[in-house]
């Protein structure tokens, strides 16, 4: 093995001198299922968590790391001529961000909570003021101090005890989304030595102010699977197990209701929801099932006074609102409050003493509906734009007639409003500041529609700078996600201005697999209909070319995670359509991953993609899996990014894909990998460091477009 490593190192050195990518040739790995044998030439690139994290690397681990280093070095060498431009772009992007920014305070249990940033610091500072905004500031957590000495740092699941004395917070220093829970006494400032390891980070406080419930994770699959009860200050190894999820297709967690009266355990798979409830003033009691677990039944619950509200898809594809007495929560006791509508998707609600606020999606746009429960008045907030996104913000107080909501569009910076639900008065509390100035009137957004082969309309949200728009085709970046029912709503990005100000058009393709037109859009882009996601995206690209907005020599595409799968599929299916493609943390080895339940999160995904243990799903996955469908052809220019410690898409998927692409690559276009060796799925931690990768992505596109500065 040492001899092989020496040879590999010498070859790697020679490759770098010639600016050539490293060689990935190894003994192939064979997998046979349903009578079909798949040969994986790059399976050797896979490492366990222990191998990745070990301080002393074994020979195999070192071999994989050396290969990654070779790919990274190749990318750096080939793009070295853009290095200054990348630095300039980074400075430009972070230069628009206010360095000493502060959030809008919200009232919760007698304190106003807010966060702020200080100039020159990467992480947020969490603060509060007692009873009045004029009171003295209390810093409850300074992430900058906690992050010292770590390459990666993230806080998760902050929760203050009901008596306002204790703060529980989770810490992840590896980017694998395993959090260690800490407890801080907010009266003394002391952080207890006793912590809780291997958790999701969040806790639910009981009303005794000393008991918390938390969720532990499986170290192999990364699944949340057990709920424990813990006494603050005790050794977590003695904690009582209160719930175990035996079905590996479920995620679980625990939280405290907004009313403060219940501890709620949730269980959710792709198609089913389940809840168990316990009075928060009885932490030693047993949890009660809210209603027996059903089949293909998704719902959410909110407690208020003596009842629960339920947003449910039971006999309601786009959801309806129901209620039930808190003492009789079985489904047989549910009563309808708002009926199902075919043209409106009910997304969620916020409960106040006299009002219900409903978050809905209609005609592809996300808006807010206000119902006065005393007078019966029912109205929608008018936002005055043709394309926008409105969502419920932080509203911890029941006893108020003021709704706080968030609003944005592709030309409107994210804004926080307080809305008087009785008078209709809107007060702008804060709008995202773009340092250096931003003229909203200089930009234009609109919505276009492409048509798929089956006649389905595919919406396109598009934005550009007015004075750069001409009758001639322009450079255009097309973005999409299209999985898990997640909808990419139109929103503002100050980062995106670096594209628009250089003449790029930016567009979002609202493909199936999202819920742009309600649940049917999702169902039509998953399982055995997954290819609709890819063909919708291709149709959008072709439509934008056909109407003269862009050309294939000016059209770029981008997506991340499951959106990276989308990019992998469309460069196989229509490689000639794209000048360049960016696939971020891409899920591309679909069949191998979905066959292996030991890989983190796989078992939760079978209702999204299908289980390839069944031949019908195996055959269908195989027909679109980007890794399996790589063939000898001319691909567009491509940049692939990943994180070595990614917990969602294991690093070896994009790494193997890169190696296979290189083996089949034809033509003169470029293929680059950027593997972040100290980050995971979301990239580098901190406020600004992540923008180095954005600058790389932009420089990659600008270089291809002939834009030099």
pLDDT tens, position by position, 431-487: 999 999 999 999 999 999 999 999 999 999 999 999 998 889 999 999 999 999 999
- Token readout for 286 is 């047993």
687 neighbors 124 (Cβ within 8 angstroms) = yes
Q: Provide the whole-model pTM.
A: 0.87
Please pick, among 276, 539, 681, 692, the residue that the annotation labels catalytic.
Answer: 681
Give mean pLDDT, residues 292-306.
92
The domain ranges of the chain are 79-97+688-709, 99-136, 344-435, 443-551
- Token readout for 648 is 């969602």
- Token readout for 360 is 């809905």
227 neighbors 252 (Cβ within 8 angstroms) = yes
DSSP-derived pairing of the beta strands 251-256 and 262-268: antiparallel
In this predicted structure, what is the pLDDT of residue 15?
40
The conformation of residue 605, written as its DSSP 8-state character, comes to G
pLDDT tens, position by position, 52-89: 777 677 888 889 889 999 999 999 999 999 999 999 99
pLDDT tens, position by position, 653-668: 999 999 999 999 999 9
12 neighbors 66 (Cβ within 8 angstroms) = yes
Provide the pLDDT confidence category of residue 9 given band limits of 50, 70 and 90.
very low
DSSP-derived pairing of the beta strands 106-108 and 251-256: unpaired
φ/ψ (deg, to 5) at 452: -80, 170
Instruction: Transcribe 441-458 into DSSP letters.
Output: GGEEEEEEEEE-TTS-EE
Please give the Cα distance from 228 to 535 (Å, whole number): 45
544 pLDDT higher than 80 = yes
Q: Which 3 state secondary structure label does DSSP give 40?
A: strand
414 neighbors 376 (Cβ within 8 angstroms) = no
Match 């957004």 to its residue by tokens: 445
pLDDT tens, position by position, 177-235: 789 999 999 999 999 999 999 899 999 999 999 999 999 988 777 778 899 999 999 99
13 pLDDT higher than 60 = no
In this predicted structure, what is the pLDDT of residue 121?
87
Provide the pLDDT confidence category of residue 1 given band limits of 50, 70 and 90.
very low
In this predicted structure, what is the pLDDT of residue 556?
98
In this predicted structure, what is the pLDDT of residue 679?
56
In this predicted structure, what is the pLDDT of residue 688?
67
Residue 370, classified by CB atoms within 10 Å of its CB into exposed (0-12), middle (13-18) or buried (19+), is: buried
Provide the pLDDT confidence category of residue 92 given band limits of 50, 70 and 90.
very high
Taken in order 390, 393, 397, 398, the sign of the CA dihedral is: positive
Please give the Cα distance from 153 to 138 (Å, whole number): 23
* C-alpha triplet 564, 691, 488: angle, nearest 5°: 45
pLDDT tens, position by position, 142-167: 999 998 988 888 898 899 999 999 99
Provide the pLDDT confidence category of residue 311 given band limits of 50, 70 and 90.
very high
In this predicted structure, what is the pLDDT of residue 552?
98
pLDDT tens, position by position, 118-139: 988 888 999 999 999 999 999 9
User: Could you tell me which of 184, 89, 124 has the C-alpha nearest to residue 495?
Assistant: 89
Give mean pLDDT, residues 1-17.
35
Active site residue 646: yes
- Token readout for 459 is 């919406």
Please give the Cα distance from 44 to 424 (Å, whole number): 62
Q: For all residues of the chain together, what is the average pLDDT?
A: 91
In this predicted structure, what is the pLDDT of residue 645?
79
In this predicted structure, what is the pLDDT of residue 55?
67
pLDDT tens, position by position, 476-522: 999 999 999 999 999 999 999 999 999 999 999 999 999 999 999 99
Residue 472, classified by CB atoms within 10 Å of its CB into exposed (0-12), middle (13-18) or buried (19+), is: exposed
In this predicted structure, what is the pLDDT of residue 347?
95
Give counts: helices (H), strands (E), the chain: 14, 39
For the beta carbon of residue 477, count every other beta carbon within 10 angstroms: 23
In this predicted structure, what is the pLDDT of residue 700?
98
11 pLDDT higher than 50 = no
18 pLDDT higher than 60 = no
Please pick, among 536, 646, 670, 703, the residue that the annotation labels catalytic.
Answer: 646
φ/ψ (deg, to 5) at 82: -100, 5
In this predicted structure, what is the pLDDT of residue 149?
87
Q: Which helix (H) or strand (E) holds 355?
A: strand 355-362
In this predicted structure, what is the pLDDT of residue 3?
35
pLDDT tens, position by position, 368-419: 999 998 898 999 998 888 789 999 999 998 899 999 999 999 999 999 999 9
Helix, strand, coil in percent for the chain, rounding step 5: 25, 35, 40
- Token readout for 116 is 């702020």
In this predicted structure, what is the pLDDT of residue 685?
52
**Fold (topology level) of 443-551:** Rossmann fold (3.40.50)
- Token readout for 343 is 């043209």
User: How far from chain centre, in Å, is Cα 485?
Assistant: 12
User: Could you tell me which of 254, 258, 176 has the C-alpha nearest to residue 221?
Assistant: 176
- Token readout for 664 is 């089949």
Give mean pLDDT, residues 663-678.
92
In this predicted structure, what is the pLDDT of residue 169?
96
Give mean pLDDT, residues 364-371.
93
Strand ranges across the sheet with 457-465: 443-451, 457-465, 505-509, 476-479, 555-560, 580-584, 637-643, 671-676
φ/ψ (deg, to 5) at 244: -130, 130
User: Could you tell me which of 608, 473, 602 has the C-alpha nearest to residue 528?
Assistant: 608
Taken in order 115, 89, 657, 486, the sign of the CA dihedral is: positive
**Cβ within 8 Å of residue 253, ≥6 positions away:** 200, 202, 215, 224, 265, 266
Q: Between 530 and 687, where is the model more confident?
A: 530
User: Could you tell me which of 241, 227, 228, 183 has the C-alpha nearest to residue 209?
Assistant: 183
Taken in order 97, 102, 105, 108, the sign of the CA dihedral is: positive
Provide the pLDDT confidence category of residue 269 given band limits of 50, 70 and 90.
confident
In this predicted structure, what is the pLDDT of residue 686?
58
Instruction: Transcribe 155-203 into DSSP letters.
Output: EEEEEE-TTS-EEEEEEESSSSS-EEEEEEETTT-PBPS--EEEEEEEE
How many residues does this entry show for the chain?
Answer: 709
Q: Which 3 state secondary structure label does DSSP give 68?
A: helix
Q: Residue by residue, what is the 3-state secondary structure of 228-262?
A: EEEECCCCHHHCEEEEECCCCCCEEEEEECCCCCE
Please give the Cα distance from 629 to 140 (Å, whole number): 52
In this predicted structure, what is the pLDDT of residue 19?
57
Q: Which 3 state secondary structure label does DSSP give 669?
A: coil
**Range scoring the smallest mean pLDDT among 252-256, 269-273, 654-658, 675-679:** 675-679
Active site residue 306: no
In this predicted structure, what is the pLDDT of residue 573?
97
Please pick, among 561, 603, 642, 685, the residue that the annotation labels catalytic.
Answer: 561
pLDDT tens, position by position, 314-327: 999 999 999 999 99
User: Could you tell me which of 606, 596, 566, 602 has the C-alpha nearest to residue 582?
Assistant: 566
Please give the Cα distance from 239 to 283 (Å, whole number): 13
In this predicted structure, what is the pLDDT of residue 601?
65
User: Could you tell me which of 284, 233, 319 has the C-alpha nearest to residue 518?
Assistant: 319
């Amino acid at each position: 093995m040492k001899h092989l490593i020496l040879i590999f190192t010498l070859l790697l050195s020679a490759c770098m001198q010639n600016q050539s990518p490293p060689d990935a040739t190894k003994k192939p790995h064979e997998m046979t299922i349903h009578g079909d044998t798949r040969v994986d030439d790059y399976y050797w690139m896979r490492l366990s968590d222990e191998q990745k994290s070990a301080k002393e690397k074994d020979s195999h681990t070192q071999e994989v790391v050396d290969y990654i280093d070779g790919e990274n070095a190749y990318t750096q060498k080939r793009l070295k001529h853009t290095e200054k431009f990348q630095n300039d772009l980074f400075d430009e992007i972070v230069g628009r961000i206010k360095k000493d920014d502060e959030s809008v305070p919200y009232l919760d249990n007698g304190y106003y909570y807010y966060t702020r940033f200080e100039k020159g610091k990467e992480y947020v500072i969490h603060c509060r003021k007692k009873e009045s905004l004029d009171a003295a500031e209390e810093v409850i957590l300074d992430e900058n101090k906690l992050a010292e000495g770590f390459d990666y740092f993230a806080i998760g699941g902050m929760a203050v005890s009901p008596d306002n004395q204790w703060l529980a917070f989770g810490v992840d220093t590896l980017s694998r989304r395993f959090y260690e829970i800490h407890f801080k006494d907010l009266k003394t400032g002391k952080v207890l030595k006793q912590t809780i390891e291997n958790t999701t980070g969040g806790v639910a406080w009981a009303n005794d102010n000393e008991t918390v419930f938390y969720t532990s994770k499986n170290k192999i699959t990364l699944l949340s699977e057990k709920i424990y009860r813990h006494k603050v200050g005790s050794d977590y190894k003695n904690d009582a197990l209160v719930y175990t999820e035996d079905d590996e297709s479920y995620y679980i967690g625990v939280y405290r209701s907004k009313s403060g009266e219940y501890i709620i355990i949730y269980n959710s798979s792709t198609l089913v929801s389940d809840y168990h409830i316990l009075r928060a003033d009885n932490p030693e009691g047993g949890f009660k099932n809210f209603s027996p677990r059903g089949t293909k039944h998704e719902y959410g619950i909110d407690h208020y006074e003596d009842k629960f509200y339920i947003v449910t898809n039971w006999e309601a594809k786009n959801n309806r609102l129901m209620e039930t007495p808190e003492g009789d929560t079985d489904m047989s006791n549910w009563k309808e409050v708002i009926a199902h509508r075919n043209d409106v998707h009910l997304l969620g609600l916020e409960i106040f003493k006299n009002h219900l606020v409903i978050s809905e999606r209609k005609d592809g746009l996300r808006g807010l509906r206000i119902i006065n429960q005393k007078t019966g008045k029912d109205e929608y907030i008018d936002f005055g734009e043709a394309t926008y996104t409105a969502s419920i913000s932080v509203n911890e107080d029941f006893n108020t007639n003021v709704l706080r909501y968030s609003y944005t569009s592709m030309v409107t910076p994210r804004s926080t409003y307080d809305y008087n639900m009785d008078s209709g008065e809107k007060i702008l509390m804060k709008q995202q500041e773009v340092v250096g100035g931003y003229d909203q009137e200089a930009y234009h957004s609109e919505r276009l529609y492409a048509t798929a082969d089956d006649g389905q309309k595919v919406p396109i949200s598009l934005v550009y700078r007015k004075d750069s728009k001409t009758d001639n085709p322009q450079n255009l970046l097309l973005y999409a996600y299209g999985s898990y029912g997640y909808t990419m709503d139109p929103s503002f990005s100050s980062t995106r201005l670096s594209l628009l100000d250089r003449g790029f058009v930016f567009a979002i393709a609202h493909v199936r697999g999202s819920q742009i037109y309600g649940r049917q859009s999702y169902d039509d882009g998953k399982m055995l209909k997954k290819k609709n996601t890819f063909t919708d995206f291709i149709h959008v690209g072709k439509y934008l070319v056909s109407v003269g907005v862009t050309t294939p020599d000016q059209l770029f595409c981008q997506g991340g995670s499951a959106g990276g799968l989308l990019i992998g599929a469309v460069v196989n299916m229509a490689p000639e359509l794209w000048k360049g493609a960016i696939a971020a943390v891409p899920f591309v080895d679909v069949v191998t991953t979905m066959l292996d339940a030991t890989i983190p999160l796989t078992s939760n995904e079978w209702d999204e993609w299908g289980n390839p243990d069944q031949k019908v799903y195996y055959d269908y996955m195989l027909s679109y899996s980007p890794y399996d469908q790589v063939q000898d052809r001319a691909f567009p220019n491509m940049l692939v990014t990943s994180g070595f410690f990614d917990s969602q898409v294991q690093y070896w998927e994009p790494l193997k894909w890169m190696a296979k692409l290189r083996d089949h690559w034809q033509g003169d276009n470029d293929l680059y990998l950027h593997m972040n060796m100290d980050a995971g799925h979301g990239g580098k931690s901190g406020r600004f460091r992540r923008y180095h990768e954005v600058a790389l992505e932009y420089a990659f596109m600008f270089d291809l477009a002939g834009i030099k500065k």
